[in-house]
């Protein structure tokens, strides 16, 4: 007679002591996570309250307070952020749209983590390279640098047009999902052509002195460290964050929406513009807002690249001074309790309020996006 196999111990017949241990461990982990979240919230509120307390005596002082001194700093902060976003937003959103809709899964699994890891680069490293390498190069080759700003987007559009005109056999050799690779030699070719021809173009059109022509024709004085360099360097730092959030928003759009559009005869490009982008719009807005918050609060890149000249000018070839850079430079020399000291705390409070509002707005929009995905049946 075969003896029956004894039952295997499972979670349902485990000892009461083991159940109590697991429940206690789960409760401890939940308590620690909750305490950490509450601690972060309290720390943020404490920072805001501390800054407000330090600023209140400034408005109660009988002495004249030069609030107008903050105007060029606020202008410089917004100017640096705007130039950075002008460079970062098209690149980041374009990369996110391509990787989420067109790029092959194999290539996407390698490129996406690499781009996201770029966000870990310290701002001081980016500012160091921009200040010691990029700024002197652009100063020596201004015509070549400006030509690249025109050639690069035109070459990308030209590559897309030429690819659409190729016969089907050639398209299979250059699949759209791998455009991130075969575009590299194409862009490198045109970058080399632009840099090679830029001295000749400068000689023929601007008498060999583009900087002098800009000064005499438009009154644009060129500074070695200027808003153009700040925009490129800070945009490079902002791109990974915007890309990661935008790509997650686009990839999170329920798949049946795009499949339904393609089943009705829409192309992938039409599906992207008519279906995917409207559905992911709040997420893209949230990504741009968080990038703007990062750009406004950036300190080291602006400190090392902007020239720290308190100018109120729209010219991208002149420097500026931001609120964060002024705090970093002047606070160690300010005497506690004086008006200058309080003004620096006011600058810090303005930065805190702006970044807090921007991040809060971005998070609210992201929560609305998640709710929309749940209603569409595609989100968790």
Looking up residue 271, the CATH number of its domain turns out to be 1.10.3720.10
Closest CA relative to residue 122, chosen from 331, 338, 299, 309 = 299
pLDDT at 241 over 60: yes
Q: Could you tell me the pLDDT band of residue 308, with boundaries at 50, 70 and 90?
A: confident
On whether residue 11 sits in a domain, the answer given is: no
On whether residue 223 sits in a domain, the answer given is: yes
Query: Do 311 and 357 have their domain in common?
Result: yes
Q: What is the pLDDT of residue 1?
A: 45
Query: Do 55 and 74 have their domain in common?
Result: no
Q: What is the pLDDT of residue 20?
A: 79
Closest CA relative to residue 307, chosen from 291, 293, 292, 326 = 326
On whether residue 267 sits in a domain, the answer given is: yes
Query: Do 75 and 118 have their domain in common?
Result: yes
On whether residue 284 sits in a domain, the answer given is: yes
User: What φ, ψ does residue 198 adopt, rounded to 5°?
Assistant: -60, -40
What CA–CA distances, in Å, run from 283 to 131, 142, 242, 287? 34, 37, 10, 6
On whether residue 124 sits in a domain, the answer given is: yes
Q: Do the beta carbons of residue 177 and residue 166 sit within 8 Å?
A: no
Q: Do the beta carbons of residue 324 and residue 318 sit within 8 Å?
A: no
Give the mean model confidence (pLDDT) for residues 316-322: 89
Q: What is the pLDDT of residue 380?
A: 41
Q: Which of residues 60, 77, 101 is at a domain's end?
A: 60
Tell me, rounded to whole angstroms, the distance of Cα 277 from its chain centroid. 19
CA quadruple 119, 122, 127, 133: dihedral sign: negative
pLDDT at 13 over 50: no
For residues 224 and 132, give the distance between their C-alpha atoms in angstroms, rounded to a whole number.
11
Give the mean model confidence (pLDDT) for residues 54-83: 86
Mark out the alpha helices in the chain (DSSP H runs). Answer: 16-60, 71-97, 105-117, 123-129, 135-140, 142-165, 168-173, 179-206, 210-218, 227-251, 255-263, 268-271, 277-297, 300-305, 323-330, 339-376
Instruction: For 117-135, write each residue's pLDDT tens digit.
Output: 888 888 889 999 998 999 9
Query: Do 123 and 221 have their domain in common?
Result: yes
On whether residue 13 sits in a domain, the answer given is: no
- Domain of 296 in residue numbering reads as 67-376
What CA–CA distances, in Å, run from 319 to 171, 187, 304? 46, 30, 11
Query: Do 52 and 79 have their domain in common?
Result: no
Q: What is the pLDDT of residue 4?
A: 55
On whether residue 16 sits in a domain, the answer given is: no
∠ CA 114-116-119, rounded to 5°: 115
Q: Any bridge partners for residue 307, and if so which?
A: 320
What CA–CA distances, in Å, run from 292 to 83, 307, 354? 11, 21, 10
Closest CA relative to residue 124, chosen from 240, 293, 298 = 298
Instruction: For 86-118, write each residue's pLDDT tens digit.
Output: 999 999 999 899 888 888 888 888 888 888 888
Query: Do 44 and 105 have their domain in common?
Result: no
Q: Could you tell me the pLDDT band of residue 235, with boundaries at 50, 70 and 90?
A: very high
Number of domains in the chain: 2
Greatest C-alpha distance within the chain: 108
For residues 302 and 84, give the distance between their C-alpha atoms in angstroms, rounded to a whole number.
11
317 DSSP 8-state letter: T
Q: What is the pLDDT of residue 82?
A: 93
Strand positions, DSSP E, 99-255 = none
Query: Do 306 and 275 have their domain in common?
Result: yes
Residue count (the chain): 380
Q: Which of residues 21, 42, 60 is at a domain's end?
A: 60
∠ CA 367-370-374, rounded to 5°: 140
Give the mean model confidence (pLDDT) for residues 154-162: 88
Query: Do 36 and 103 have their domain in common?
Result: no
Q: Could you tell me the pLDDT band of residue 275, with boundaries at 50, 70 and 90?
A: confident
Query: Do 48 and 117 have their domain in common?
Result: no
∠ CA 56-62-66, rounded to 5°: 75
Query: Do 204 and 346 have their domain in common?
Result: yes
For residues 357 and 355, give the distance between their C-alpha atoms in angstroms, rounded to a whole number.
6
Q: What is the CA radius of gyration of the chain?
A: 27
What CA–CA distances, in Å, run from 368 to 109, 227, 279, 280? 28, 35, 11, 11
Query: Do 272 and 129 have their domain in common?
Result: yes
On whether residue 34 sits in a domain, the answer given is: yes
Query: Do 48 and 110 have their domain in common?
Result: no
Give the mean model confidence (pLDDT) for residues 142-158: 89
329 DSSP 8-state letter: H
């Amino acid at each position: 007679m075969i003896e029956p196999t004894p039952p295997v111990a499972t979670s349902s017949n485990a000892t009461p002591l083991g159940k109590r241990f697991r429940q206690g461990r789960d409760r401890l982990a939940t308590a620690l996570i909750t305490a950490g979240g509450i601690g972060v919230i309290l720390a943020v509120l404490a920072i805001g309250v501390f800054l407000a307390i330090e600023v209140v005596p400034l408005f109660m002082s009988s002495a004249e307070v030069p609030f107008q001194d903050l105007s060029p700093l606020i202008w410089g902060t917004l100017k640096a952020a705007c130039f950075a976003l002008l460079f970062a937003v098209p690149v980041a959103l374009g990369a996110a749209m391509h990787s989420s809709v067109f790029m092959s899964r194999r290539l996407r699994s390698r490129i996406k983590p690499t781009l996201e890891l770029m966000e870990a680069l310290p701002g001081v490293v980016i500012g160091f390279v921009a200040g010691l390498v990029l700024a002197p190069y652009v100063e020596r080759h201004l015509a070549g640098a400006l030509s690249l700003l025109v050639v690069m987007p035109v070459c990308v559009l030209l590559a897309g047009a030429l690819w659409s005109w190729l016969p089907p056999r050639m398209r299979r050799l250059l699949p759209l999902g791998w455009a991130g690779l075969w575009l590299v030699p194409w862009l490198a070719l045109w970058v080399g052509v632009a840099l090679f021809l830029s001295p000749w173009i400068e000689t023929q059109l601007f008498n060999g002195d583009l900087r002098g022509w800009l000064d005499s024709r438009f009154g644009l004085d060129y500074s070695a460290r200027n808003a153009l360099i700040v925009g490129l360097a800070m945009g490079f730092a902002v791109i990974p964050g915007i890309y990661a959030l935008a790509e997650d928003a686009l990839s999170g759009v329920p798949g049946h929406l795009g499949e339904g559009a393609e089943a009705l005869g829409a192309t992938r490009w039409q599906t992207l513009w008519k279906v995917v982008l409207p559905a992911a719009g709040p997420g893209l807005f949230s990504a741009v807002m968080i990038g703007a918050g990062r750009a406004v609060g950036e300190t080291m890149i602006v400190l090392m690249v902007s020239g720290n000249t308190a100018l109120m000018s729209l010219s991208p070839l002149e420097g500026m001074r931001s609120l964060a850079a002024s705090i970093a430079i002047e606070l160690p020399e300010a005497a506690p309790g004086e008006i200058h000291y309080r003004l620096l705390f006011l600058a810090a409070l303005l930065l805190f309020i702006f970044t807090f509002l921007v991040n809060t707005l971005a998070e609210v929009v992201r929560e609305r996006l998640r709710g929309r995905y749940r209603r569409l049946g595609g989100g968790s």
